[in-house]
Every structure is written in structure tokens, then in C-alpha cells.
Structure 1
Amino acid sequence: MPETEVANGKYADAAKYLTETSLGRRYSVEETLALRKKFVGKSMYYFYEDDPLKIVRGRAQYLYDKDDNRYLDCINNVSHVGHCHPHVIEASHKQMSQLNTNARFLHDNLVTYAERLAKTMPGDLSICFFTCTGTEANDLAVRLARCYTNHNDVIVLEDAYHGNGSSTVELSSYSFNKPGYGGKPEHVHVAKKPECYRGIYRGNPNSNELGIRYAELVQEEIQMAHKKGQKIAAFLAETMPSCAGQFIPPPGYLRNVYKYVREAGGICIADEVQTGFGRMGKYFWSFEHQGNLSLRVIPDIVTLGKPIGNGHPLSVVVTTPAIAAKFEKFTYFNTFAANPVSCAIGHAVLDVIENENLQKNAETVGYYLLQRAKELLDEFKIIGDVRGLGLFLGIELVKDRKSREPAVEEAASVVDFMKEKHVLIAKDGPDRNIIKLKPPLCFTKANVDTFIATFKQALNNLKL
């Protein structure tokens, strides 16, 4: 705007500014949809394609549409501490009003936030590289691995998703197996996912034997790569796979996989973009679930994103001093990463998790959610499996429990029905038949009861 208008205070009142610019106009759903179809790429899909929701505000675990109807949000893991948390907003506003610039200037927010993050990590994980998205974090993590090992190849899990950039799509069989994506690159090796309900080894998800057997499949990928003269730079995996099926790997899996990968000269990357920051309840980081006090599972690199900024674009790669030192021969700079506002928001998110005891809430409410969902197994045969930890739950719908044929259309119907009842859920997994629940950590037992009651209505509505 012209400097004179700033000087005379014409736009000092934010509300007035909004009414006098395009930002203040409220479009109808039809107008918004028409503009989106005209000016936004069609591949950027939106929820509820036949009857899209226009959400205009959010508070805590609730979203509100243009008519001020309230929806219970069971899927927005990005808004980790709740939509529009006042402490996060205040931290953002306060810092934005003082300074926002790039990280090539010194600023206390950057160093104190890096120190605070490092203190949540085990072992030598203490050096932070800042990025803006989970995609960028995973891309940089693989660069670090290749630099440190002087190897090139990466082992990933079946149906995994690690981002939407060119390099991370190549590491995501969730993406590269789809038409038009080009298939698996030669330098990528895909191990069968350690999923005990639908995987190649089935049985008790708490079985140490299954953990060992699935880990041996990674060892086989290493051996096949070596026979081709290829060398492993890294094993990259979500420690609690989300898009791959919302499941918890069996005990002992990561411990054995990490051993095999390190023996092969590679390093281990834990993708915590979906499941970090206390979502698992008992554990601040999901990889901690795979170890114990005497035998801890510690990655060489951890990637963080999504919940880290409660919706603000912030992500981090945390690694060891030894790995970081090898990367010093390169100049790394990211224009927006680690700016003072982003770091202030990161601090505020950690404040809320600690001050509102949200990790404990995830454990308590998550356990209640898991038990209430498991109670439905006796009532509804369409539910094949219920699995999860903390506020990370998957409910797999099947046409038949014996064949485990995915109930794809039924899952879609359930999602749409619940939206009409003002409860927002989503479906995921390679067959899109798994109801995934990853709500904000302020979710309550009353919210669980609402979800369960509405979910039962949705299943009954299928008229099976």
C-alpha cells in the first residue's frame, strides 16, 4: 500500500483494512469453488468432492463452516495443540511485529529453539538443520546420509509416503507406484511393511518373532543390493507408518533393522513428520516405542514437520555432530527456514504441550479411544482390525474378515455420512479402506464418545 496511507493510519484498524480489500470479501461456496476450478491446479484435490466444506475458522478441536456449523475435527494432526491456540497466535503476532528475516542474521529464537529441541532427543542427536516442510526435511536427511556414507541407495517401506518433491516422491512407493509417476527408481529398495494384520507375516502385533521376521526382509534387500554392486546410504521409514496403513510395527523390528543397516555402512532416518511431539502419549517420539531403558532404539537422523508449528510451515532435521560435520563442506541455506517468527511459534507449541500436559492427555484419551473402538469389533463384522497408540488410530474396514477384502466403497460412505453429522474423519491406506484418526492433542473423552456414537450410526447406515 502507499507509504502515505501507512503514515496517516488509514489501515491501522485491521478489521477496516479487511473490509476495504479482497481479503474481506466473503464468497459463496459456489463462487469459491468456481475460482478454485479456474485458477488452482486440478491435482490439488479437496475433501468431500461432491459436497465440499468451506471452513472459515477453527478453535481447539473444532472447525466451523461458513454458516457457523461446528465440526469435530478427528484428522487434523497439523493443528497439534488445537486450532488457533491463543498462546501460539500471541507468540506469532509478537515476533512478527518486531522482526522476521532470514537465518543468516543471529537471533536468539533460533538458537534457543534448537537447544530446546535437542534436549528432547536421545543419544547424540543434537544438531539441527531447519527447513519449511516435511518434504524438505526428508530430502535434506537423505542428502546428509549420502554425504556421510558416500553411498547412494535408500531402503524404504512398502506403501510409504515421505513428501511431494521430486526426490521424496522417488522414495515414496505410496506415490511412485501410481500411474504417471514412473515407478521405482533403481537406487530405491522397497522392503515389505511390518504390518501384522494384512502383511505377509500375520499374527499378534506384539510378537517379537514377527518383529524379527520383518526385519530380516530388510536384510534381504541389503543383500540383493550388494549383489548388484549397490551400497546402502540409508534406511528411511516412518516409525509409525501412516499412509501405509496406520499401524504399529511389532516389537524388535527397528532394533534389528537399524543393526542390519549400520552393518551395511548405512545410517537410519526416522521420519517423525506425522507422529512426533507426544502424539503417541507415552512417548514424545514414536521411535522410542521400539526400545526400552536397557536397549534404546536411536536413529542417526530424525525428521520433524507438520505438528511442529501447529499449521505454520516449519520443519527440522536433527542429527549427530559426526554426520553434521561431514556436511560442512556444503553451504546450506533455506530462505524462510528458522526465521524468528517460525522459531517463536515452535517455542510456543512446545510451551503448550508442556503447560497443558498434552502428551499425557494423548496417552489417557488415546487409550480410551482405542478401547471404545475395539468394543465395536463384536458388533460390526465390517471392522477387521483396530490398532493404534496414543492419538494415532486406524480402523480397518473389510468386506469379509476371513478374506480381509478391503471395504473401499463402505469406507467412503462412512466418511461422507459422518461429515453430514459434523464429525470429520478420513480414509487412508493403499486401498483407502482404513479410517484414520489423528486429532489435535486437546481431544477429550467426550469427543471420543461423540466419535464412537456417530461412527456406529455410520456403520448401521450401511445396512449390512
Structure 2
Amino acid sequence: MSDDAHTPAAPRSAPAAPRSAPAAPRRAGTYRTFYSEPLTVASAQGCTITDTSGIDFLDAYNNVPVLGHSHPAIADAVHAQLLRANTHTRYLDDVVDAYSRDLLALLPQHIESVVYTCSGSEANDLALQVAAYSSMSEGVIVARRAYHGTTSATAAISPSLSPAPRDHVVTVDIPDADDPDFGRLLAGRVRRAAAELERRGHGTSAFVLDSTMTSEGIIAGEHVRLALAVDAVHDAGGFYIADEVQAGFFRTGTWWGYESLGVAPDLVTFGKPMGGGMPVAAVAGPRVVFSDFGGQQRYFNTFAGTPAPIAAAHTVLNALRDGGFGERVPEAGQRLGDGLSDALAEAGVDGRVRRAGLMVGVDLQPAAGDAARAGAWAGELVEAMYARRVLVSRTGPGDAVVKIRPPLVITDEEIDRLIEAFRGALEDVGSAYA
């Protein structure tokens, strides 16, 4: 790992005793906090968040600070650009050009152009616009519980936000990751979805998929392949959009999550960890596609791709490229996955650990189990780990999958602490199926 990978501060407090039964998270308008007693942040370094009482928490959830919180090289890069210039992309800037070249060099040869946005939602929104224009269709195929953003267009293709389906959107069920027929099953469902969109008069503009299928409970494994499904999308005249907002930048152990799926995207979107905490995201695709779209439809984003966030993004990219993360992330993920599996076995819990690098899900729903019951239990486990000063969340069907997604600089010692907190949380709350 490179010298500029930030070393986290040692925790200053021992795990506390478990708290009482959790209350509902606090809400204010459309916002809501994590945990029954919200965490108020005073500072953060590496994988440690310190609250206003001086108590340290292991951050095993936030993947925006991919190199850890408060990374000094990112801060220095942003500071230097704020003192130099802060124009928008109607002006040329060597900082932006250099990053664009380095980013595109990590993508398939046919991905030749990049357009910047401020958020993953905006990136997916723009990708939908490009796909609709190029395909002359508006129908979109997504996974049953997908999340792709909060703009009007991306919320419409995010059934995890609202279960009410839109007429131009058809959802598909993702097969079980362990099914050796995964690729053929998914392709058949995509073909049927495309036929339904054609019947409704929308046609197929895109199949949009988060490369780790995070909202589905994190789907990964040797059988999880997309080639046949992408063929089905192309046969219907649509684009395959790889949503790398959560899966990208070495989260899965490779630069991009789609690499393990055996396909190359027509368009790819980035966000979250891209700037290590700065608001920057992007869409990348073939030059001719963007040229055709830009020739007829005007797109401009005042704050996207300006020098300060791009300097942060370049710092992240360089650190990931030069820091040995291709070896470290699979190794760390294996250590974490094995430890969680051992903890489940020791507790007699029939759960499954699904993992793509350091994107880890612990599925607590047994075969033919009660998703609502498992989801409530997962919620108790998340709260019990919070009481033990470890931050995780949950996802998947019925929110029954504990979601673990730490900064990539997490150390072996911190992984072991996480595993011990999970083991202790299992003891604290007992089994939902006892």
C-alpha cells in the first residue's frame, strides 16, 4: 500500500454494553438518520469516526472516503486548486484533461469520452438521457429492488425508493447467486422485460444494473455473469449501463465491478468514492454516442468537473492505482468474509455471507424464511453493533442483509474488531429463529 494511505487513529474507548431495544431512526422531512440514537460527528480519521462525546466508532459502512476520512493528500490537492482557479467546463483546464486521460485509460477501448456531474444520481440521469436519445426509445429494465438515484428520472427507475412502477420501467428478479444457470435465467427475464416494454409502446433504451446488485442483497460469485443478458438488451436495441457508483474504484478488488461479470458496458457511471469526499461523478461512453447526443441536446453542469473536485479525484485514482489495492482488497475481503462466516456458524445461524472484495452482505434470511422477521432481526444486529461502536447498515429483501462497506484502507486489526463486534451482536440479540 502506498505511503499516502492514511493510518487511522487507535480507538480511544472500549466497546460499550449493548443498548436497550432500538427506537425508530429520526426523520426530518425526506431526510432520516442512521441508528436509534443518531451519531453526531465531531471528527474522523482513517476508518475512525469520533462523536461529540469523544467516543470512537469503527466506520465499516461509508465508501465515500475510500482512502479513509480526512485524507491529507486529498485536502492538499483541493486546497491547491482553490488557490489556483475554479472555473467551469466551458474553459479548458490541464488538471481536468490529465484526470480524464488517466480515468479513460482504465476503461475498455471503446469508452473514449467522459462527461462530469456532481453526483451519482446526476450521472445516471445523464446516462438515461443519452441512451434514450441514441436508442430512440424510453423503456428501462432494472432489478426488482434497484436504487439508481434521486432525480426524477433516476427515482423513476429506483423501485427501492417507491414501489409504484412507472409504465416505461419493467423490473426483473435477479437469480440466486449460487445458481449455475444464473446467466441464462437472467437473460430470459431481460428478454421478457424487453418484450413487455415493446408491447407497451416504449421500446428498450437501457438495462441499468448496479454491478454488485447491492439493493438485491449484494449478488456476487462465480456464476454471476451478464453476457447473455447484455446480448438480450442489444437485441432489443438498448444499452447496458453499468452503474459503478457503489461498485467502482476497487470496491470489488478490481477497478470496476462489471469486470467480474464478464461484460463491457455501453455506458458506465461513477460517483461516491470517486472524489474521496468531494462532489464529483461522471458518465463515460463511446465518443460518437456523446457527439450525436451533444449535437442535438444541450447538457451543462456548472459545478461538475471543476478543478478542485477533479484534483481530489485524481489523488484518489493515483493512490488506488499505486497502492496495491488489487491485492489488498481481495485479501481483506477474504479475512472479513471468513470471520463473519465463522461467527454465524458458532452462533448456529443459517446465514450466508456474500462478498465482492470489500462489499460484503450477511444474508440472515434462511431458505423459505420470513423476510420481515429476518429484516427486524438484522435491524437489531445493526443497532447492537452500533452499541459496540461499529457502524454498518442493511439492505436487500426485507432489509435482511447486513451491509458492510468500509473504507478500503481498513486494517486487519480493524477487520478483526468488526468481526468481534458482529460475534458479540449475535450474542446480544439472540436468534430470530430460535
Instruction: Tell whether the structures are fold-level matches, with TM greater than 0.5.
Output: yes
Measured after TM superposition, the shift of residue 384 of structure 1 is 2.0
* Cross-structure match for 2:113: 127
Q: For each residue in 1:324-360, what CA deviation from the matched residue of structure 2 results, as whole angstroms up to 9, or x when unmatched? A: 1211222221000010101111101112212322332
Q: Does 1:191 align with 2:172?
A: yes
Stretches of structure 2 that go unaligned for 5 or more consecutive residues are 1-25
The alignment partner of 2:303 has SS state of coil
Measured after TM superposition, the shift of residue 116 of structure 1 is 0.8
CA contact (8 A) 1:152 1:232 kept: yes
1:44 equivalent among 1, 13, 31: 31
Moved over 6 A (4+): none
CA contact (8 A) 1:133 1:315 kept: yes
Looking at structure 2, the residues matched to 358 and 56 of structure 1 have their Cα atoms a distance apart, in angstroms, of 29
* Cross-structure match for 2:98: 112
Measured after TM superposition, the shift of residue 184 of structure 1 is 1.0
CA contact (8 A) 1:279 1:359 kept: no
* Cross-structure match for 2:385: 418
CA contact (8 A) 1:418 1:424 kept: yes
Measured after TM superposition, the shift of residue 454 of structure 1 is 1.1
Matches within 5 A, 1:304-319: 304-319=270-285
Q: Does 1:266 align with 2:273?
A: no
* Cross-structure match for 1:230: 202
* Cross-structure match for 1:346: 313
CA contact (8 A) 2:241 2:265 kept: yes
CA contact (8 A) 1:189 1:221 kept: yes
CA contact (8 A) 1:384 1:404 kept: no
* Cross-structure match for 1:289: 260
1:191 alignment partner AA: V
1:403 equivalent among 366, 369, 376: 369
Looking at structure 1, the residues matched to 103 and 121 of structure 2 have their Cα atoms a distance apart, in angstroms, of 19
Looking at structure 1, the residues matched to 298 and 259 of structure 2 have their Cα atoms a distance apart, in angstroms, of 32
Q: Does 1:299 align with 2:285?
A: no
Matches within 5 A, 1:215-254: 215-248=187-220, 251=223, 253-254=225-226
Looking at structure 2, the residues matched to 51 and 224 of structure 1 have their Cα atoms a distance apart, in angstroms, of 45
2:239 alignment partner AA: I
Q: For each residue in 1:157-186, what CA deviation from the matched residue of structure 2 results, as whole angstroms up to 9, or x when unmatched? A: 110000011111100111120xxxxx1111
Cα-Cα RMSD? 1.7
Greater shift, 219-228 or 237-246, is seen at 219-228
* Structure 1 pair 427–147 and aligned structure 2 pair: CA distance change class (3 A): same
Q: Does 1:256 align with 2:228?
A: yes
Looking at structure 1, the residues matched to 333 and 224 of structure 2 have their Cα atoms a distance apart, in angstroms, of 23
* Cross-structure match for 2:13: none
1:328 equivalent among 280, 294, 299: 294
Higher RCO (C-alpha under 8 Å, 6+ residues apart): 2
1:53 alignment partner AA: L
Q: For each residue in 1:85-111, what CA deviation from the matched residue of structure 2 results, as whole angstroms up to 9, or x when unmatched? A: 111111011111111121111111111
Looking at structure 1, the residues matched to 74 and 202 of structure 2 have their Cα atoms a distance apart, in angstroms, of 47
Measured after TM superposition, the shift of residue 41 of structure 1 is 4.2
CA contact (8 A) 2:384 2:429 kept: no
* Structure 1 pair 148–355 and aligned structure 2 pair: CA distance change class (3 A): same
Looking at structure 1, the residues matched to 202 and 221 of structure 2 have their Cα atoms a distance apart, in angstroms, of 27
1:287 alignment partner AA: Y
Of the two, which has the highest radius of gyration?
1
The alignment partner of 1:101 has SS state of coil
Q: Does 1:91 align with 2:77?
A: yes
Equivalent residue pairs, number: 404
* Cross-structure match for 1:57: 43
1:453 equivalent among 411, 420, 424: 420
* Cross-structure match for 1:140: 126
1:176 equivalent among 162, 172, 175: 162
Looking at structure 2, the residues matched to 164 and 249 of structure 1 have their Cα atoms a distance apart, in angstroms, of 29
1:86 alignment partner AA: P
Looking at structure 1, the residues matched to 158 and 118 of structure 2 have their Cα atoms a distance apart, in angstroms, of 19
* Cross-structure match for 2:341: 374
CA contact (8 A) 1:396 1:435 kept: yes
Measured after TM superposition, the shift of residue 252 of structure 1 is 5.9
* Cross-structure match for 1:279: 251
The alignment partner of 1:337 has SS state of coil
Looking at structure 1, the residues matched to 89 and 350 of structure 2 have their Cα atoms a distance apart, in angstroms, of 49
Over the matched positions of the two proteins, sequence identity in percent amounts to: 31
